[in-house]
């Protein structure tokens, strides 16, 4: 398996533009997570899905953020409109079973977002 695949690796956009981040989880994993990492706040959980259904989006900072998982092999995180404070590395992770109890989470390589 190629692991969790995220695209793009880097994104530079202007304030006010829409940004879409993409993730392909490991085949067979039933949980998918979106995290954001900054120096100040570390890794923050934004939202997670179980069997394609959003379970907890309490970490999504504002209505500008939305996430979808239309099928078991694809998820998107959208920011509209983007703001400079959204600049961070966004990670997608997947796992088999709740909380990674069956072997931890597998993370993608992340998308480094810069909003100017």
Residue 10 is a binding residue for another protein (CB under 8 A): no
Given candidates 27, 51, 98, 114, which one binds another protein under the rule CB under 8 A? 98
CA–CA separation, 60 and 36 (whole Å):
10
Find the shortest distance in angstroms from Cβ 10 to another protein: 11
Q: Which stretch in 12-20, 65-73, 79-87, 93-101 sits in contact with another protein by CB under 8 A?
A: 93-101
Restricting to residues 58-87, which ones interact with another protein according to CB under 8 A?
none
Locate the DSSP E strands across the chain: 5-7, 10-13, 19-24, 31-38, 42-50, 53-56, 65-71, 74-79, 88-95, 106-107, 111-115
- 52 near another protein, rule: CB under 8 A: no
Q: How far is the CB of 108 from another protein (least distance, A)?
A: 6
Structure tokens at 111: 């998308």
Backbone φ/ψ region at 63: left (φ over 0), alpha (ψ -120 to 50), beta: alpha
Site residues (CB under 8 A) for another protein? 4, 31, 33, 35, 42-43, 45, 48, 50, 55-56, 91, 93, 98-101, 103-110
């Amino acid at each position: 398996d190629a692991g969790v695949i995220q695209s793009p690796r880097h994104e530079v956009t202007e304030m006010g533009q829409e940004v879409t981040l993409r993730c392909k989880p490991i085949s067979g994993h039933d949980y998918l997570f979106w995290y954001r990492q900054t120096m100040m706040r570390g890794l923050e959980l934004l939202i997670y899905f179980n069997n394609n259904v959003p379970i907890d989006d309490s970490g999504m900072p504002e209505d500008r953020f939305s996430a979808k998982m239309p099928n078991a092999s694809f998820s998107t995180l959208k920011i509209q409109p983007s703001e400079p404070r959204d600049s961070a590395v966004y990670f997608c992770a997947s796992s088999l079973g709740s909380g990674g109890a069956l072997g931890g989470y597998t993370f993608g390589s992340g998308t480094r977002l810069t909003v100017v």
